Amino acid sequence: MRYTQLTKPDVEHMVGAIDADSIDDLFAPISPKLRLKSDLNIPAGISESELLRDTQSLATKNTDTSQAVCFLGGGAYDHFIPTVVDAMAAQSELLTAYTPYQAEASQGMLQLFYEFQTMVCELTGMEVANASMYEGATAAAEAVLMAKTITKRKRVVIAASTHPDTLAVLNTYAAQRDLDVVVVPAPNGTTDEDAFSAAIDSATAAVVIQSPDFFGCVERLDRLIPKIHECGGLAVVSTDPIACGVLKTLGALGADIVVAEGQALGVPMQYGGPYLGLLACREKFLRKMPGRVVGLTKDTEGRRGFCLTLQTREQHIKRQRATSNICTNQGLLAVRAAIYMATMGKTGIEQVASQSFDKAHYAATGISKLDGFELRFDAPFFKEFAVRTTKDVGALLASCRNRHINAGIGLERFDAGLADSFLVAVTEQRTRAQIDDLVSALRDA
């Protein structure tokens, strides 16, 4: 009865209250041919201690980053999370999977989201940010819808070096929102500038560029963004928030809308999420921004207060004219990101970025010296790089796993033309000894 709380007398009482003879009477409208005539084929119940032993046995089949050295990337990264993030985010007034709405939001939560927005603006060099999105791919797709509303155009150009998940989500949105998506090739890991120039025109609403891109390469935004503005389109730039610690701010480079996957900001690696989307833009586009924006105000007695200044969805008012269906934010993870950014500060994030850059280049140098290995692309990269090998990639990565090293992600799952390559990510967590062990494992596989 631990998992089915209703006893037989409970059921008899409820059935009697509605003048039915049995539960079967409730399903009378359903044809008998469609009803299950036997018991469910499930095993008998077990005791709590047996259940715990079973779940613990299943859990030991997983290998986490405390048991194997992690060089996995592709959008989720093993960055260090200060203990204070877990400690503060676990406070009862903050720890909730539910994001409060206007009438429920405490001043403390609103202040925290306000500070989150402020730090996202400082990190990206943009003027306004919302209180977070569901995850990075959704943030990018919503930014495109935002650009469509602003420009009243329907053509979207996206670089092939953008994360495949972002492209997939954008295509899903486009199928229902009358968008024409054009993919520009990235033969050397970065956008082909000639093809890029040919793809954009006066019908282009937005161009989506990721930098550092899916392969870790840094795009020449200083050359690409001016071309976007020449045709009257908006530059939507997806980025790694940690890279903002060492690269020129996207606001200074002319980006109109900046989006990012915020997992690197104090959110643990997880099996598919939940993660955290960031979205910031120029102030002139504020009223077209999806989600919610928390603002600072004063009450009738002149005291500082916080409130939801903007909810562009407003479907209770705008209905079909609403800017977006996104009416909430990723509350718990925005809390974690705010604590992480406040804890690390500008200097801390710069150090994380600098160490990740240096260690990634140390690893790339060591791997490229091995027989049968080379860097797939020669473009500049941040903390992630693609490696091409003459060895079987699947067997190679499996051999490394046997040595408790997650050496990278095989790229064939994203592109059959990259079957001979894998993606390696190096964060500030990795030590010289661990990187040397990776190189040795690749050599011996």
Whether 20 maps to a domain, the answer reads no
Among the candidates 324, 341, 358, a domain finishes at 341
Q: Taking the model in full, what pTM does it have?
A: 0.88
Is the pLDDT assigned to residue 196 strictly greater than 80?
yes
Is residue 310 very low, low, confident or very high in pLDDT (cuts 50, 70, 90)?
A: confident
* Three-class DSSP category at 357: helix
Is the pLDDT assigned to residue 314 strictly greater than 60?
no
Is the pLDDT assigned to residue 1 strictly greater than 60?
no
Whether 262 maps to a domain, the answer reads yes
Is the pLDDT assigned to residue 393 strictly greater than 70?
yes
Is the pLDDT assigned to residue 258 strictly greater than 90?
yes
Domain identity same for 320 and 421:
no
Domain identity same for 324 and 432:
no
CATH code: domain of residue 230 = 3.40.640.10
Domain identity same for 277 and 399:
no
Cα separation values, 244 from 207, 224, 306, Å? 20, 18, 28
Q: Cβ contacts of residue 37 below 8 Å, gap of 6+?
A: none
Question: Residue with structure tokens 């976007």?
Answer: 228
Whether 6 maps to a domain, the answer reads no
Among the candidates 278, 306, 341, a domain finishes at 341
Domain identity same for 165 and 311:
yes
CATH code: domain of residue 435 = 3.90.1150.10
Question: Residue with structure tokens 């860097």?
Answer: 375
Q: What is the pLDDT of residues 38-64, one digit of tens each?
A: 888 888 888 899 999 999 999 999 888
Contact call for residues 233 and 208 (beta carbons, < 8 A): no
pLDDT of residue 315: 52
Q: What is the pLDDT of residues 62-108, one digit of tens each?
A: 888 889 999 999 999 999 999 999 999 999 888 877 777 666 778 88
Give me the mean pLDDT over the 227-240 stretch.
97
Greatest CA separation for the chain: 80
pLDDT of residue 102: 63
Least confident interval from 177-191, 275-289, 322-336: 322-336
Among the candidates 341, 359, 388, a domain finishes at 341
Is residue 194 left, alpha or beta, with left meaning phi > 0 and alpha meaning psi from -120 to 50?
alpha
Going by the DSSP 8-state scheme, the letter that residue 169 receives in this structure is: H
Domain identity same for 277 and 388:
no
| Whole-number Å distance between alpha carbons of 236 and 256 | 6
Domain identity same for 423 and 299:
no
Contact call for residues 293 and 309 (beta carbons, < 8 A): yes
Domain identity same for 332 and 396:
no
Give me the mean pLDDT over the 337-353 stretch.
97
Give me the mean pLDDT over the 20-36 stretch.
90
Is the pLDDT assigned to residue 207 strictly greater than 90?
yes
Number of domains within the chain: 2
Domain that holds residue 395: 69-79+345-444
Domain identity same for 271 and 132:
yes
Give me the mean pLDDT over the 362-372 stretch.
98
Whether 423 maps to a domain, the answer reads yes
pLDDT of residue 321: 72
Is residue 7 very low, low, confident or very high in pLDDT (cuts 50, 70, 90)?
A: confident
**In the predicted model, what is the mean pLDDT of the chain?**
93
Is residue 316 very low, low, confident or very high in pLDDT (cuts 50, 70, 90)?
A: low
- Record the tokens describing residue 138, joined without a space: 């959704």
Domain identity same for 174 and 321:
yes
Domain identity same for 93 and 161:
yes
Domain identity same for 291 and 209:
yes
| Whole-number Å distance between alpha carbons of 375 and 258 | 29
Whether 201 maps to a domain, the answer reads yes
pLDDT of residue 438: 98
Q: Cβ contacts of residue 173 below 8 Å, gap of 6+?
A: 141, 144, 145, 179
- Record the tokens describing residue 150, joined without a space: 């602003």
pLDDT of residue 364: 98
